[in-house]
Amino acid sequence: MIRDPGQLVSLERLRMAIAAGRAKLIAGIAVRQSGDVQAAATWMQTNQSRDLMDQIRQEVAAMSVIQDGLLISRHRDADRTALGLQLVLLTGFVMLIFMAIVVVRQNVLRLRAVIASRQDMEGAYAELQAEGVHRFAAEAQVRQMQKTEALGQLTGGIAHDFNNMLSVIVGSLDLARRRMATDVPKAQGYMEQALDAAQRAASLTARLLAFARAQPLSPAPCDPNNLVSGMSEILRQTLGEDTRLETVLAGGLWGVFIDPSQLENAILNLCVNARDAMPAGGRLSIETTNAHLDEAYARENPGVATGQYVVVSVTDTGEGMTEEVAERAYDPFYTTKPVGRGTGLGLSQVYGFLKQSGGHVKIYSEVGRGTTIKLYLPRWMGAAAAAAGARRSPERMDARGDEVVLVAEDDPRVRAITVSALEEFGYIVLQAANGAEALALLDETVDLLFTDVVMPGMDGPQLAEEALRRRPKLKVLYTTGYARNAVVHNGTLAGGLPVLPKPFTIDQLAAKVAEVLHAA
């Protein structure tokens, strides 16, 4: 489409010239066709057609010049446009490079900041590690000091109590020896004092073994409700009139598999402590219930297994304990009672017994409000628990006269007194200093093997295993002053065989031997 007005005028003149030339051409053709030679010659001589052609050429040439000018102008405009675009692109490229430089610089600055922060963190971490090492060393030193303090307290308490008991034993026996020839009744009284002191020393040893979770236990099916009911009368006599005893026994209580006598001792210890915490009297309650300890409780109390438990709670309305006292309550020989009112072994014995039995003990106390101590006993999934009766004193049963007992004991003094005691009750006694000698003496006449648990070479369980392999119907009775993990599992001796803890009285020995010999 042509937009230039000059070109439109030229184009119009060109169109008119072409039309005139066409008309002239048609007229000339008509003259020629008419046959008028003279008219045709005259028309040819006029040069009108040539003039029209020249006019047409001039118009075309003028239009070409104009068109070339327009083309040159357009090329110039296009060049300017291209230059503008190039400038725009160059400007954009420069700006892009500038922005890239800015971004890179910012990233470099961020990277430097990150590196600096990381170096600061590494420095802080190194300082934290150094502080952790220092704190660990300090805590280890504190723990070692606490262990040393606890060990000193333990050994000091043991030395104090045992020295007192040994003083009574040695002094009483010395006096008895002096009076034996002149005053037999008084000499016998001194011997009774020595025996009483020796029995208290044995009780102290048993409590220490309980705290160390190494005492031999005799677990049996037990109904805690029956056990608490059976203890009520003994507890009322022990607590006195100023202490009001209440028992709340849960219905549908689960059974437990535990040493009933040790559980009785644990409850008795807690009740005596509760009575002492109420010097002016008060209320003491014993409650039984079923409970389930979940993972949250186990996380808060390390060493406690999740599961179902029977809980025996002893609650008093006494003075209560501070947090510091409660944290040390299980330490052996630690006591807040006045001198002569307690040994500091009651709670430590309870703690050791519960841990050895797979249970748990928890103290809840508030100063001025009272204390609750909960004994968690693992639920037993066996048959119905047997009723735990009141304490029974051992019954002495003399031998028939033909029963043979083989004594295996590596300590010659203990072996000698044991043999003499059994012979005193009418048994035929064979003795051996070790397992090999005992096996050499074992024959068809032996009815009972009475062996120490810990002996050099072949220990008691190994001796019993070999003896039972040779004599399947042989009766076996262990004795031990302490128990090692190698021969004791959860307080029960290997094979579930009966055990007589050392030290034992002559009557206890006779009763236990008779019980084992006559057991079904």
**409 with 372, same domain?**
no
- Report pLDDT for 486: 39
**422 with 338, same domain?**
no
3-state secondary structure of 5: helix
Termini Cα distance of the chain: 132
Give me the CATH number covering residue 301: 3.30.565.10
Whether 109 maps to a domain, the answer reads no
- Report pLDDT for 386: 45
**262 with 347, same domain?**
yes
Residue at a domain's end among 343, 378, 413: 378
**Structural contact between residues 468 and 474, judged by C-beta atoms closer than 8 angstroms:** yes
- What phi and psi values does residue 111 have, to the nearest 5 degrees? -60, -45
- Report pLDDT for 439: 93
**339 with 447, same domain?**
no
Residue at a domain's end among 328, 362, 378: 378
What's the predicted TM-score (pTM) here?
0.47
**357 with 455, same domain?**
no
Residues of the chain with pLDDT under 70: 1-7, 10, 14, 20-22, 24-25, 27-52, 55, 139-168, 199-217, 328-346, 383-401, 482-496, 520
**409 with 374, same domain?**
no
Domain count, the chain: 2
- Report pLDDT for 45: 58
**368 with 425, same domain?**
no
**435 with 485, same domain?**
yes
Residues 214-255: tens digit of each pLDDT: 556 677 888 999 988 888 877 887 787 888 888 888 888 999
Whether 160 maps to a domain, the answer reads no
**373 with 479, same domain?**
no
Burial-class residue 18 by CB neighbours within 10 Å (0-12, 13-18, 19+): middle
Residue at a domain's end among 319, 344, 378: 378
- Report pLDDT for 433: 92
Whether 344 maps to a domain, the answer reads yes
**315 with 416, same domain?**
no
**Structural contact between residues 320 and 366, judged by C-beta atoms closer than 8 angstroms:** yes
- Helix, strand, coil percent content, the chain, rounded in steps of 5: 60, 15, 25
Range of the domain at 342: 220-378
Element (H, E) at 404: strand 404-408
**241 with 370, same domain?**
yes
